Amino acid sequence: MPQPVELRVLGLVIVGGAVGVLARAAVVVPLADEPVVPWVTLAVNVAGSLLLGFVVGVLGDEYSRWRAFLGTGVLGGFTTYSAFAVHSVQLMPTPLVAISLMGVSLFAGALAALVGIVLGRRTRPSAALEPETAE
């Protein structure tokens, strides 16, 4: 049976999501050159995958609130699957470019997440953060 969502955790995800969306907007909105936007979205998604992997690797399962804020919230808001999907479809008139964008996005995102997890686990604090306790 699914567990109910804590309101505090939901609030952390909402605030984190707003931070992530603002960060992505700060990167993408100033671009006036529309043809580069799909490639900037690719860079944002790969960077977000790396950072999410790092967050997961560093925090593990012991820091669920931090993971909710940083992972689901900030990095979930920062990255964007929907923009990737739309850019891929918009590039279909040039199939090689569209397929390249899709392939690179999937491969580079997964590789970045793997690298992030490995780096996160290697830098995991032993006692720098106090694990959360059930309240």
Contacts of residue 12, Cβ cutoff 8 Å, sequence gap at least 6: 65, 68, 69, 73
Is 76 annotated for ligand binding? Answer: yes
Classify residue 132: in a domain, yes or no: no
The residue segments making up the domain with residue 118 are: 7-122
Contacts of residue 82, Cβ cutoff 8 Å, sequence gap at least 6: none
Is 71 annotated for ligand binding? Answer: no
Classify residue 50: in a domain, yes or no: yes
Q: How many domains in the chain?
A: 1
Classify residue 128: in a domain, yes or no: no
Per-residue pLDDT 10s for the chain (135 aa) are: 778 889 999 999 999 999 999 999 999 989 877 789 999 999 999 999 999 999 999 998 889 999 999 999 999 999 999 999 999 999 999 999 999 999 999 999 999 999 999 999 999 876 455 556 555
Classify residue 129: in a domain, yes or no: no
Report if pTM > 0.85: yes
Helices and strands, number each (H, E), in the chain: 6, 0
Classify residue 61: in a domain, yes or no: yes
Classify residue 130: in a domain, yes or no: no
Classify residue 80: in a domain, yes or no: yes
